[in-house]
Amino acid sequence: MEPDSLPTEIILTHPRQSLGSVKLDWTPQPGNYLDLEGKTYAVLERRHRYHLRSGRYRLHKVAIYVQSAPRPSEKSLVAGRWVIGDASCRYNAHSELIRCAVNPEGPCDRCRFYEPVEA
């Protein structure tokens, strides 16, 4: 195994099935997107799997739970992380997984509910 690669099992949440194992050179976080075999998936959850070796637990592999999702076209940088949609809107969820409560499918630029955040 290369020192920078992370053995990762990809698990589809619905219907629950394994999509296989890959070695990633980055750490998948919930809210990230992953392209696998021509399809795009949103990472929902990450779990670490450890083995006990020589009296110590060592990271063996990571399992990520994903769902099929289109890559969002609108993103905003908030406090050092990317969120979906226009973060200057009062209704934006400031989340990597959901845009907002009133218009979760978007787009933000034509939303009739847009209200700027008051300072």
pLDDT tens column, 43-76: 999 999 999 999 999 988 999 999 998 877 788 8
Whether the CA torsion 11, 12, 18, 21 is positive or negative: it is: negative
Look at residue 56 and tell me if it is in a domain.
Answer: yes
Q: Are 62 and 78 in the same domain? A: no
Look at residue 21 and tell me if it is in a domain.
Answer: yes
The whole domain housing 47 covers: 6-68
What are 10's strand-pairing partners? 20, 64
Q: Are 62 and 85 in the same domain? A: no
Q: What is the pLDDT of residue 117?
A: 84
Over residues 2-49, the pLDDT tens digits come to: 456 778 999 999 899 999 999 988 888 888 889 899 999 999 999 999
d(CA 119, CA 53): 54
What is the overall mean pLDDT for the chain?
Answer: 86
d(CA 75, CA 91): 15
Q: Are 62 and 109 in the same domain? A: no
Contact 28, 34 (CB under 8 A): yes
Look at residue 1 and tell me if it is in a domain.
Answer: no
Query: Terminal CA-to-CA distance of the chain, rounded, Å?
Result: 50
Q: Are 115 and 84 in the same domain? A: yes
| Number of other CB atoms surrounding residue 28 within 10 Å | 19
Q: Which of 68, 88, 105 is at the close of a domain?
A: 68
Q: What is the pLDDT of residue 2?
A: 47
